[in-house]
Structure 1
Amino acid sequence: MIISQKAQLISPSPTLAVDAKAKQMKSEGHDIIGFGAGEPDFDTPDHIKSAAIAAINQGLTKYTPVGGTKELKNAISDYFKKQLGISYAQDEIIVSTGAKQCLFNALYCLIDEGDKVLIPSPYWVSYTEMVKLCGGIPVLVPTIEDGFVLKADTLKNYIDKKTKVLMINSPNNPCGSVYSKQDLEQIAKLCIENNIFVISDEIYSELIYDDVEYASIASFENMLERTLIINGVSKTFAMTGWRIGFAAGPKQLIKAMENVQGHTTSNPNSIAQSASVAALTQKDNGVLSAMVNEFSKRRKYMVERINSMKYLSCRLPLGAFYVFVDISETFGKQCNGKTINNSTDFAQILLENFKVAVVPGIAFGADDFIRLSYATSMENIEKGLDRIEQYVLSLK
């Protein structure tokens, strides 16, 4: 079989080997603590599940418009108006099968062969591969020295005539950083000056801690027409499996994205769309705030424990539900005769010897780090961190 060149360009996820090993060990009866989860460990709220059941009973099980129902688009429009103070019309909104599809559709519609896409690094694993699939060139812009936040002074050094798109993610996966208004304003000015379009991934926008003020780059002057906001219900409402994402931006781009979607997946799930209307419009009786409070509690505990451990350090995340841990001081050290040379070694040795699964930082373009998710119970967090501490203390 002849595989296309574009498919061969796509790198396999560096996390697959560790993930497969963790699942195998778990199936063999080992007590594995997993810190890899990219989804809330809370159940979808009851009023959302009830809306889905009602949709089934009402026969709302047929095709919908490709870009989403009017009811859901209205709910999304109201949501953005309330959250960001931005008004979007029906033809400026698209609903897709998860935020990931929104991202891919947008890149496919924006990028021509050889166009460059600026991506702050560390980055979510699929950004670079999506760009390559669409014929673009991912250009990584470092942020580690600036607290995992993209700075305009750094960004300007990576812009050239082929630069077409900037992707930003705030709150950030894997680092948990949140961009300030000042940083976003400076980035916006640079994008306007250089005619760069922005894809702003805001999927974690409701998961913010310590009263940090949230802002979208789309809200700045002259940025509305050059920004596509990506969001969805998966993280905010614990609806990862429902597969509903949405995007809002210039109607010309939204129409192009809808055309692509019409020839690939067509409309998103009809029942999940009805459930998403309930998620965005009905009161949750404090479910979201309770989830955020619990995440914040776990976050603080995890950061305090990690920073008290030998060789390890991390920053306090301000959003999302991840801690990005610097493990570089463990490089060159050994555990049971095996040497740690990179994040993959660290993760594999940890899993094999101490039964804890983490995501190697190389998956996010940062080999000096590992990512831990605190979207798991406090009991698991305590047990898992105890094992990690035993691991680093055993290093020679």
Structure 2
Amino acid sequence: MTDQRRLSARISAIAESATLKVDAKAKALQAEGRPVISYAAGEPDFPTPAHIVEAALEAVRDPRNHRYTPAAGLPDLREAIAAKTLRDSGLAAGANQVVVTNGGKQAVYQAFQVLLDDGDEVLVPTPYWTTYPEAIKLAGGRQVDVFAGSEQGYLVTVEQLEAARTDRTRALLFVSPSNPTGAVYPPDQVKAIGEWALEHGIWVVTDEIYQNLTYAEDPEATPPRALSIVEAVPGLADQAILVNGVAKTYAMTGWRLGWMVGPADVMKGAANLQSHLTSNVSNISQRAALAALTGPQEPVEEMRRAFDRRRRTIVAELSKIEGMSVPVPEGAFYVYPDVTGLLGREWGGVTPTTSLELADLMLERAEVAAVPGEAFGPSGFLRFSYALGDEPLLEGVQRLQGLFS
């Protein structure tokens, strides 16, 4: 064999998911008997609601689900997703505008595959979720970071986007509520960004996986909606792809069920790609997702209230650490403190200069795992997921208070 390459250049350039890597390291240490508390994984600690599990059990016993089904998804599930999209995103879409995918990640991947050619640019508000850069890269696109720090609530402005726009700009990635920051764009800013994208003919890929996890200042008040950019600017409907799924809202991360919604011709292209890539999503997961979307929603509200309680706890406790600046997240289940005030100082004989080094110090000295900012953009930040039990959540932060006292 004359060619000594083991992997293609495309695959060699892909980075492992940083969040999963940190979580795997924490779990390995736990398996060794170390009492590590991990804030790394974006995964609810609740079981999937019982009525959804029952629907899956019934589906297993039904021979219809033992066979191939349409690559784009079961017709009744696609109808239910269209109804959910109208209800929560204000977009009237037909079932032919829905493609059911193996989790939200596949929807993100396929969105960029159907939109981008080599060299097309995607504006990516930063900090960003770790999968976006790799999905853009695999589609031949070029990521253009638009950074918004803690001083502006991690929310980019139209002026920043316009400064980054070129004649190669093909798409804007829009995420609200955000992973990793928990930031939620206010309605006027959503509208302004949507109108800017419409004016310049820029596609919008909007990830709405956390849209049902928002919080009010008063825990007893009705939480504000995370306004969808296609509801704020209806004219964007023909140049937008919505990504969503059941993983976060319904505690169904392991069921691998997501979807994408967009113009019929674009979704036809995505369905064609999926027909060769994976074909249909597991019929059992599809039946479970149908039960999630059409069944009782009380369990969702119970989980949301628990996340809100934990959000208040972790923000209050992290804010006690001198050197941490902790913007209050309004959605999702993450808090993203600016930790530059902890860098360049000695802690137990170690002087971290980056958030990566700080995260390593925390894991070794306090047995607390968090994901460093380098996974999401610039150094100087840490992501903590508060989707874990109340007791370990509090204990972990108290360990950090002791480490950085």
TM-score, scaled to structure 2: 0.94
Relative distance call for 1:299 and 1:16 in structure 2 (3 A) is closer
Q: Which residue pairs with 2:219 in the alignment? A: none
Structure 2: how far apart are the matches of 1:345 and 1:18? 13
Q: Which residue pairs with 1:245 in the alignment? A: 258
Q: CA deviation at 1:184?
A: 1.3
Structure 1: how far apart are the matches of 2:340 and 2:307? 26
Q: After TM superposition, list the pairs within 5 Å mapping 1:1-396 onto structure 2.
A: 1-2=4-5, 3-14=7-18, 18-59=22-63, 60-144=65-149, 145-210=151-216, 211-219=223-231, 220-284=233-297, 286-393=298-405
Q: CA deviation at 1:240?
A: 0.5
Which amino acid in 2 is paired with 1:279?
A: A
Structure 2: how far apart are the matches of 1:17 and 1:319? 24
- Contact map agreement 1:122 1:142 (CA 8 A) in 2: yes
Cα deviation, 1:246-284, whole Å, max 9, x if unaligned, reads 111101110010111111111111100001111000113
Cα deviation, 1:22-70, whole Å, max 9, x if unaligned, reads 2332122111111112111111001000000001111222211000000
Cα deviation, 1:302-325, whole Å, max 9, x if unaligned, reads 101111212112111000000001
Q: Which moved more, 1:5-14 or 1:274-283?
A: 5-14
What is the DSSP-based 3-state SS (H/G/I as helix, E as strand, rest coil) of the residue aligned with 1:246?
Answer: strand
Number of aligned residues:
392
Q: Which moved more, 1:357-366 or 1:334-343?
A: 334-343
- Contact map agreement 2:23 2:41 (CA 8 A) in 1: no
Structure 2: how far apart are the matches of 1:41 and 1:287? 13
Please, which runs of 5 or more residues in structure 1 have no aligned partner?
none
- Contact map agreement 1:18 1:348 (CA 8 A) in 2: no
Q: CA deviation at 1:335?
A: 2.6
Over aligned residues, Cα RMSD in angstroms? 1.3
- Contact map agreement 1:212 1:318 (CA 8 A) in 2: no
| Structure 1: 4+ residue segments shifted above 6 A | none
Which amino acid in 2 is paired with 1:120?
A: P
Structure 2: how far apart are the matches of 1:331 and 1:230? 36
Q: Which moved more, 1:186-195 or 1:370-379?
A: 186-195
Percent of residue pairs bearing the same amino acid type = 37
Which amino acid in 1 is paired with 2:389?
A: S
- Contact map agreement 1:15 1:360 (CA 8 A) in 2: no
Structure 1: how far apart are the matches of 2:87 and 2:112? 27
Structure 2: how far apart are the matches of 1:333 and 1:16? 29
Q: CA deviation at 1:110?
A: 0.5
Structure 2: how far apart are the matches of 1:19 and 1:55? 32
Please, which runs of 5 or more residues in structure 2 have no aligned partner?
217-222
Which amino acid in 1 is paired with 2:388?
A: T
Structure 1: how far apart are the matches of 2:44 and 2:78? 25
Q: CA deviation at 1:8?
A: 2.5
Structure 2: how far apart are the matches of 1:350 and 1:128? 27
Relative distance call for 1:45 and 1:104 in structure 2 (3 A) is same
What is the DSSP-based 3-state SS (H/G/I as helix, E as strand, rest coil) of the residue aligned with 1:176?
Answer: coil
Structure 2: how far apart are the matches of 1:335 and 1:187? 42
Relative distance call for 1:19 and 1:292 in structure 2 (3 A) is closer
Structure 2: how far apart are the matches of 1:301 and 1:332? 28
Structure 2: how far apart are the matches of 1:20 and 1:243? 19
Which amino acid in 2 is paired with 1:333?
A: R
Which amino acid in 2 is paired with 1:4?
A: S
TM-score, scaled to structure 1: 0.96
